[in-house]
Structure 1
């Protein structure tokens, strides 16, 4: 696994973060060292998907990156006739994801799609996963996407939404941010790397509070919205239709 040292050297001007070839090359290391609980989260998402996947339905991984969630779904879904659609708008991500998929086993068919997740039809879906994806979408577009997902889900279908969130009061949020930075230090990131990565993500990754997410999901029509996973300021919600 190539090590993430993108921000190890001081940069005169830190460019906004993007999922380019440089990030793709180190992405597995980057996300494991940056997102608390990530390695535990993946198989648990697969476990939830295995419970809610319906025969002859589609399961979506929206913003699939290198396909970690897609592979977890493929390993655990056993229902007859299921098909997985994995979508990402970064050409470098899709290209490498395609190579990874070709090297792994599994009987569930997978369609890899290079596209904007806001434009991909959601049809006959029983499981949809947004794993740290919505946070990169402009806030003004989020309501529409969530509504489209809800409308494309079968009765009894679920959305698994993982996000970096903001907490209230501000004292709690500050504590969780500090703990997150401690996590990154423990995983070998320097103060310079933490600072420059934070600058790169400013105005690119826009977090919301859990109540904001819950309100949006309920307004779309979801019957229940529950937090099922949390590691510091990273959470995952399960929304059921």
Structure 2
């Protein structure tokens, strides 16, 4: 069972959010309670991706955190010719991922790489790239360059799947969605103080874009077919194909 997330309780000292050892140790509980329909959206992403896998290609998870999606996709795709590579900038997250991978019967096909994706990302022979809840943490000025580099390393007829927190196009709905999200967090057991502390910690660290801005980023990189496959108020899943 995942260790319970208490990072932002009454003992928390406000500072910028970072994926350090404290967060990594409770991340699985944190993300499952903080992201609406987390498991469902992950399974939808894997189901979509299965249509694009090619023999002897590489499946990437950019911002792989503790490796949950990486392990799940390796077990579902069940092709021994595939390689699965998880990329993350946090060594603490990768340490947690490595512990989980060692328990998987697909561990020989999975590898992890520590990379600062804002500076450089190495992608090659990719048929599938997952980037879930990651782009929102990349500095806005670095997002286009990152997607351009990923696009260049992808094979023809390959797919990138991105799930993000997004802004509403209308301020009325945007405020409504944020309020509904905070109510959701209360229902899953977070206190008002925890919600407030985390919101302050994420200020200027998690910077969401509007749906149309994310789509435009993908199209500028060269992805011709772009669509939305998942939506929950201010959370959205994008799928884009390199033809």
What TM-score, normalized by structure 2, do the two folds share?
Answer: 0.95
Residue 94 of structure 1 corresponds to 94
User: Residue 228 of structure 2 contacts residue 236 of structure 2 at CA under 8 Å; is this kept in 1?
Assistant: yes
More displaced 10-residue stretch of structure 1: 36-45 or 55-64: 36-45
Matches within 5 A, 1:98-117: 98-106=98-106, 109-117=109-117
Give deviations 1:16-63, integer Å, cap 9, x for gaps.
000011101111111111100101112222212221111111110001
Unaligned runs of 5+ in 1: none
2:127 aligned residue:
126
Contact 2:66 2:93 in 1 (8 A): yes
Partner of 2:127, secondary structure, is strand
How far the C-alpha of 1:114 sits from its partner, in A, is 1.5
Partner of 2:31: 31
Task: Decide whether aligned partners of structure 1 residues 215 and 40 sit closer, same or farther in structure 2, where only a CA change above 3 A counts.
Answer: same
- Across the aligned residues of Structure 1 and Structure 2, the Cα RMSD in angstroms comes to 1.4
Instruction: Say if 2:168 is the partner of 1:167.
Output: yes
- TM-score, structure 1 normalization: 0.96
Quick check: 1:22 aligned with 2:35?
no
| 8 A contact 2:58–2:127 mirrored in 1 | yes
Matches within 5 A, 1:166-205: 166-205=167-206
1:213 and 2:217 matched: no
Gaps of 5+ in 2: none
CA distance in 1, matches of 2:154, 2:108: 19
8 Å contact kept, 2:121–2:149: no
Change over 3 Å in CA distance of 1:143–1:10 after alignment to 2: same
Aligned residues: 240
Cα deviation code 1:151-209 (max 9, x no counterpart): 11111001001100001111111111111111100001111111110000001000000
Aligned to 2:6: 5
Partner of 2:156: helix, strand, or coil?
strand
Q: C-alpha distance in 2, partners of 1:196/1:62?
A: 27
